[in-house]
Chain A
Amino acid sequence: MKKGLLYSVLAAGMILSACNDDNSLSRSVIDFEFTLPTFESGSASVDVKSGKFTFTNVTTQVETEFDYGQQIILSDGLYNVKFVGLGLMDGSEVSVQGAQTNITVTGGNLNMKLQLYVINNQADFVIMEVFPTGTVTPDNKAYIGDQYFKLYNNSDQTLYADGLFIAESQFLTTTKYEYNPDIMEDYFTAISIFMIPGNGTDYPVAPGDSLIICDNAINHMESNANSFDLTGADFEWYAESTSSSNQDIDNPAVPNLVQVYKSSSTLWILNKQGNKAYTIGRFPEGVTADNYMSEYGYSCNYVMVTGAVSKDFTYYKIPNSWIIDAVNLSPKNTYVWNNTANSLDMGFTYVGVNAATAENYGNAVRRRELLTQPDGRVVLKNTNNSAVDFIPAYRASGLR
Chain B
Amino acid sequence: MIRRIFVATLLCMGIWNVYSNPVIIVADSLGRDTIQLDKRLPEVLVTAAESKKATSASVINTQAMQHLQPSGFGDLLELLPGGSSTTPNMNKANLIQIREAGSSSEVMSSLGVKFVIDGMALDNDANLQSIPGQDNDRDFVSKGVDMRSISTDNIESVEIVRGIASVVHGDLTSGLVNVIRKSNNSPFQARVKVDEYGKIFSAGKGFLLRDALVLNTDVSYVDSRTDPRNVVENYKRLSFSGRFNGDKKGDNFNLKWNLNMDYTGSFDNEKTDPEVTTAKEDRYKSTYNKASLSGGMKWTFRNAGPYTQLDVKGALSQSFDRLEQTKLVSLSRPTPVSTSSTTGVADGEYLPSQYVATMVVDGKPLLANLNLINRFDLNIGQSSSKILAGGEWAYKKNHGEGRVFDFTRPMSTSSRVRPRSYSEIPASSTMSFFVEENLSLPIGDHKLEVMAGVRSMSLMNLDSRFKMNGKVYLDPRFNLQYKFPDVNIAGHDVKFDISAGLGWQSKAPTLSMIYPDMMYEDIIQLNYYHNNPDYRKVNMQTYEWDNTNYDLEPARNLKKEIRAGASFNGYNISVTYFRENMNNGFRNTGMWHSFAYKNYDYSGIDSESITSAPQLEDMTFTQDTLMKVYNRWDNESRTDKEGVEFSMSTRRFELIKTRFTVTGAWFRTKVSNAGMQYYQPSSTVINGKPLNVVGIYNWENGSEKQSFNTNFMFDTYLRRLGLIFSTSLQCTWFSSSRPLWNDGTPVAYVDVAGNVHSFADADMSDPSMQALVQSYSQGYFDSQVKPFIGNLNLKATKEIGKSVRIALFVNSLVTVCPDYYIGSTLIRRSSAPYFGMELNIKI
Contacts and interface: CB of A to CB of B under 8 A. Distances in A.
Co-complex (A, B): yes
Contacts of B689: 240
B201 interface: no
A165 B416 CA distance: 36
Given A218-B529, A259-B688, A223 B331 contact: yes
Contacts of A143: 330, 332
A134 B353 CA distance: 15
Contacts of A253: 530-531, 607-608
B353 A301 contact: no
B605 A252 contact: yes
A122 B332 CA distance: 38
A365 B248 CA distance: 86
A43 interface: no
B531 A218 contact: yes
B685 A265 contact: yes
Interface in B654-683: 682-683
Query: Interface of chain A, helix or strand or loop or mixed?
Result: loop
A252 B825 contact: no
Interface string B419-435: 00000000000000000
Report the interface size class on chain A.
35 or more
A184 to B, nearest CB: 19
B533 to A, nearest CB: 8
B687 interface: yes
A373 interface: no
Nearest to B602: A252
Nearest to A290: B687
Interface stretch (B375-383, B569-577, B778-786): B778-786
A128 B392 CA distance: 76
Contact of A311 (B690, B775, B782): B775
Interface string B696-721: 00000000000000000000000000
Interface string A167-182: 0000000000000000
A244 B824 contact: no
Contacts of A219: 531
A244 B335 CA distance: 11
Nearest to B333: A145
A305 interface: yes
Nearest to B825: A307
A251 B531 contact: yes
A157 interface: no
A263 to B, nearest CB: 6
A250 B685 contact: no
Interface centre among B332, B524, B531, B689 (most CB of A within 10 A): B332
B336 interface: yes
Contacts of B774: 311
Contacts of A243: 414
A309 B780 contact: yes
B780 A142 contact: no
Contacts of A262: 685
B682 A134 contact: no
A12 interface: no
B354 interface: yes
Nearest to B330: A141
Contacts of A202: none
Contact of B780 (A136, A242, A310): A310
A294 B332 CA distance: 33
A139 B605 contact: no
A146 B521 CA distance: 28
B535 to A, nearest CB: 10
Interface string A103-137: 00000000000000000000000000000001011
Nearest to A259: B688
A307 B821 contact: yes
A305 B825 contact: yes
B827 interface: yes
A224 interface: yes
B523 A308 contact: no
Contacts of A264: 683
Contact of B353 (A215, A222, A231, A310): A222
Contact of B825 (A222, A223, A306, A310): A306
Given A141-B278, A252-B530, A308 B413 contact: no
A307 B779 CA distance: 11
A170 B617 CA distance: 42
B776 interface: yes
B522 interface: yes
Given A139-B354, A141-B278, A263-B683, A248 B333 contact: yes
A75 interface: no
Contacts of B330: 137, 139, 141-143
A26 to B, nearest CB: 23
A201 interface: no
Contacts of A309: 777-780, 823
Contacts of A293: 686, 767
Q: Tell me which of A136, A219, A249 has the highest count of chain B C-beta atoms within 10 A of its own C-beta.
A: A249
B17 to A, nearest CB: 49
B528 interface: yes
Nearest to B827: A307
Contacts of B784: 306-308
A312 interface: yes
A268 B682 CA distance: 15
A136 B608 CA distance: 31
A264 B685 CA distance: 8
Given A240-B685, A308-B780, A224 B775 contact: no
A312 B776 contact: yes
B652 to A, nearest CB: 45
B684 interface: yes
Given A249-B527, A309-B823, A242 B354 contact: no
Most B CB within 10 A of own CB, among A141, A143, A219, A305? A141
A142 B688 contact: no
Contacts of B527: 247, 249-250
A145 B332 CA distance: 4
A245 interface: yes
Contacts of A265: 682-685, 690
Interface in B754-798: 767, 774-780, 782, 784
A330 interface: no
24 contacts: A134-B332, A141-B278, A145-B332, A240-B685, A242-B685, A244-B523, A244-B524, A245-B413, A245-B416, A247-B336, A247-B524, A248-B333, A249-B527, A265-B684, A293-B686, A303-B824, A307-B824, A307-B825, A308-B779, A309-B779, A309-B780, A310-B777, A312-B775, A358-B278
Given A136-B278, A139-B330, A252-B530, 14 more contacts: A137-B353, A139-B278, A142-B330, A145-B332, A216-B333, A222-B533, A244-B523, A249-B334, A249-B335, A249-B529, A263-B683, A306-B827, A308-B780, A310-B777
Per CB-CB distance, the 9 closest pairs between chain A and chain B, nearest first, are A307-B822, A223-B353, A242-B690, A307-B825, A141-B330, A145-B332, A301-B777, A140-B278, A240-B688
